[in-house]
Structure 1
């Protein structure tokens, strides 16, 4: 019995095959395109994503030597991108980081409603409700012909099964849906003019059985029709499920977010979301937009092709001692603590040098700035954790894990195998091995623990005070 997990991120599809004891047997990935547009628009083509799913699953099966009949179940996680299925709407996936609905988000934020409160008091244009408001206002001809509009993880499951169902994780975190207040908030949907979008089907907790693959889904994915599909999660929530349990979790990928239980509502804090990961638990989220994307942008500045691993390896041999370069990394707005999508990043101490050594320095100081932002997120949530689970692409680097430990003062607990894929595999296995809690226990992995280095922590403390002062200066300039 093997379990398949598919993670659709901001630029790549990754598929993994797991044994029943949680061992990762194979992992494969395929890239897909980002289609940039005006006014912060960013889109994808679902057909390209779906082909990437099929190709990465086939490659993972080939690597593991697994026959289709051995894949017992499958689950998807994805970014909170919005799939709009309607004649004439192309590209059909509005990316999670698309900010076209900024005006609608600002308008929504002025409404006194629990949905707004749980969005940190200031609704992000990355959420689905303002995007739906934008769609009905700017493309009414599309709106009236909607066949469906779904979170990406839900659309993937629908394409695989043909069954209408939505993940509680997605609807609770990104839509006008409150699990503990009756579900869909029709009063808010009516007030914003979006009450008529198609929303048939059950709302299922992560790891719940949706159903077997359809004939079409099985043929396109190269699997047997008997393969079961389980309700998945948004990618960050999958990472929290697959990371070390019993502590707050930092998901450090294209963006950084901190997931934690029992957090009071507050500005820039999303949640609490009952049952969005585990039954009987409420999870809240706070974070930073486009952190890994900032590091990727710097990587692309190098005159010769570079990998993140190569850059970090060079930096690790010559860490800074007296740096005078400082960055505020909010180049695509602030989720936490300022809840302002229009805030922009700041750099102090830039030179005109573009040689690899200078770019390494820029990359490193951007990474430090991101870690300082994470420290601020954790404090804003009211946390002072002694331990912090870490997942996501940045976690693969020992230097990055050490930087987060030195900056936050917390031990970093990391599983060497992919926590996001593991979270989806836990959801896939849950219907077949006794539920999501049993699956999480069965899939637990050994941990690598990184403790703060006192000497580096002192440097990061200096950086912290500069970071806060730069934010004050940015605010002063904005007022001017």
Structure 2
């Protein structure tokens, strides 16, 4: 038997096919494009997700035809928070508004005024990236679209609908909408009503390891699968990464250097800290929750720099690694807020900053500054988790950025905890999704299936330059405090003048 994991990212749909022992048989992917039609906006066409998924499945079938024909379970993970809107005929009403779209910042204030105890219900502060504020924005600025809404789906749940014909979501992704009562693991009528919606607009909720529905028969035949296939509830991308890396028990954690940056800590109870922008969400496994700090531009910051200076990311990373300690100390300070900031400041107006530039700086200095700035932002996130009572002994390192041992060591030093890179870390979410598909198909115990892959290398805090890192981290924090009022003024002027 085989199991398929589909990870709908922001820049790529990634597929992993695994066997009965969660060993990877084949992987493939298809690229996606993000549209930014206005400042602060970030959108994608939902049909492009399905097209990319079909292209990737065709490639996977060609690579491993016999294994694919033995498929029995599918799990889906995906970028969280995106507002995917369908009318009563199943037509997409507009491009999906994505997780890193910042247009609904004013609506966050409005939503918290409408439901003063919203943070007690949802466990989270209202942030522009979440789904509910986007619907308030639509009600004001696109009222015809808003009135035509029959279903609001999250991105991965749109793929689930395409696969099964059923509207289903699960707890980890639903927790990022601001419509879920996170402690009760159910939709909140009060939060829905605050955005003019009710349960009829929402998909049915299941646990991530439960069956959402069977694969549509026409797809099963078209793809040459020789038996019935179930589709699992799945997970938001970070919860799926946790399952893929074995982070399922309280005290387990991972740090992800993907397009965004995430520090994810599994908890046995709902443990919010909304004042510092900590996300307190459901895990994708029954009876489990997690805390999460998030920055919106982690590896995305390196890709931005790559485009700016015309160098490949790998070349930039290599240049940063070869700087001497003195050269690193003389590099600019980078604030990685290219798409605003979540944890701990919840500041949609925050901007990316390179501070301290001189003619002596080159691309290697800038690459080091970017990697260090992301590490500092992740350290700020860990401080926020600590304020909520979470103390970590170590964490797994996942995401595309985990391929850089230098960056891993930098993050370990900035956070003050050891990090581990596991086999398959770069495809963690897709692997986790495949494991959820397996659990839905077989009914096995999660503890037997969701184990940590082998450790490939470890990164420990480096005492030899910890003092320098600490000094630069303090400067990084002072820069944000000094610039925060200017960020707000700049954003107001920029939006007002179009």
TM > 0.5: yes
> Is 1:379 matched with 2:383?
yes
Match for residue 204 of structure 1? 206
Count of matched residue pairs: 473
SS of 2:343's equivalent in the other structure is coil
Match for residue 470 of structure 1? 479
Match for residue 435 of structure 2? 426
- Structure-2 change in CA distance of 1:180 and 1:118 (3 Å): closer
Match for residue 251 of structure 1? 256
Match for residue 242 of structure 1? 244
Superposed, which structure 2 residues align to 1:247-286 within 5 Å?
Answer: 247-262=252-267, 263-274=271-282, 276-286=283-293
**CA offset at residue 318 of structure 1?**
3.0
SS of 1:66's equivalent in the other structure is helix
Match for residue 440 of structure 1? 449
- Structure-2 change in CA distance of 1:90 and 1:297 (3 Å): farther
SS of 1:166's equivalent in the other structure is strand
> Is 1:174 matched with 2:181?
no
Match for residue 50 of structure 1? 50
Distance, in Å, in 1 between the alignment partners of 2:121 and 2:273 is: 7
SS of 1:239's equivalent in the other structure is helix
1:389 to 374, 396, 401: 396
2:408 to 397, 401, 408: 401
- Structure-2 change in CA distance of 1:320 and 1:64 (3 Å): farther
- Does the 8 A contact of 2:338 with 2:350 survive in 1? yes
Unaligned runs of at least 5 residues, structure 1:
none
> Is 1:456 matched with 2:465?
yes
2:320 to 299, 315, 320: 315
**CA offset at residue 320 of structure 1?**
4.4
> Is 1:361 matched with 2:368?
no
**CA offset at residue 261 of structure 1?**
3.5
- Does the 8 A contact of 2:211 with 2:441 survive in 1? no
Match for residue 38 of structure 1? 38
Distance, in Å, in 2 between the alignment partners of 1:196 and 1:229 is: 23
Distance, in Å, in 2 between the alignment partners of 1:53 and 1:402 is: 35
Match for residue 297 of structure 2? 290
Match for residue 137 of structure 1? 140
- Does the 8 A contact of 2:336 with 2:374 survive in 1? yes
Distance, in Å, in 2 between the alignment partners of 1:136 and 1:219 is: 41
- State TM-score, norm by structure 1: 0.90
**CA offset at residue 123 of structure 1?**
0.7
Match for residue 157 of structure 1? 160
- Structure-2 change in CA distance of 1:224 and 1:350 (3 Å): farther
SS of 2:276's equivalent in the other structure is coil
SS of 2:461's equivalent in the other structure is coil
**CA offset at residue 118 of structure 1?**
6.2
Match for residue 494 of structure 2? none
**CA offset at residue 401 of structure 1?**
1.0
**CA offset at residue 74 of structure 1?**
0.8
SS of 2:15's equivalent in the other structure is strand
Unaligned runs of at least 5 residues, structure 2:
490-498
SS of 2:419's equivalent in the other structure is strand
Distance, in Å, in 1 between the alignment partners of 2:253 and 2:452 is: 19
Distance, in Å, in 2 between the alignment partners of 1:184 and 1:174 is: 10
- Decide which moves more: 13-22 or 144-153: 144-153
SS of 1:300's equivalent in the other structure is helix
- Structure-2 change in CA distance of 1:123 and 1:395 (3 Å): same
Match for residue 6 of structure 1? 6
- Does the 8 A contact of 1:54 with 1:222 survive in 2? no
**CA offset at residue 256 of structure 1?**
0.9
- Structure-2 change in CA distance of 1:174 and 1:268 (3 Å): farther
SS of 2:233's equivalent in the other structure is strand
Distance, in Å, in 2 between the alignment partners of 1:213 and 1:14 is: 19
SS of 1:142's equivalent in the other structure is helix
Which digits, 9 at most, give the CA deviation of each residue in 1:323-370, with x for residues without a partner?
A: 2411122222221111121122332112468xxx81222122111011
Superposed, which structure 2 residues align to 1:21-170 within 5 Å?
Answer: 21-80=21-80, 81-86=82-87, 91-117=94-120, 122-170=125-173
Distance, in Å, in 2 between the alignment partners of 1:182 and 1:467 is: 38
SS of 2:76's equivalent in the other structure is strand
- Structure-2 change in CA distance of 1:244 and 1:460 (3 Å): farther
- Does the 8 A contact of 1:21 with 1:443 survive in 2? no
Which digits, 9 at most, give the CA deviation of each residue in 1:249-308, with x for residues without a partner?
A: 21221111212244442313444334x3222222122221122222111010123xx432
Distance, in Å, in 2 between the alignment partners of 1:351 and 1:435 is: 59
**CA offset at residue 91 of structure 1?**
4.5
- Structure-2 change in CA distance of 1:350 and 1:185 (3 Å): same
Distance, in Å, in 1 between the alignment partners of 2:104 and 2:141 is: 10
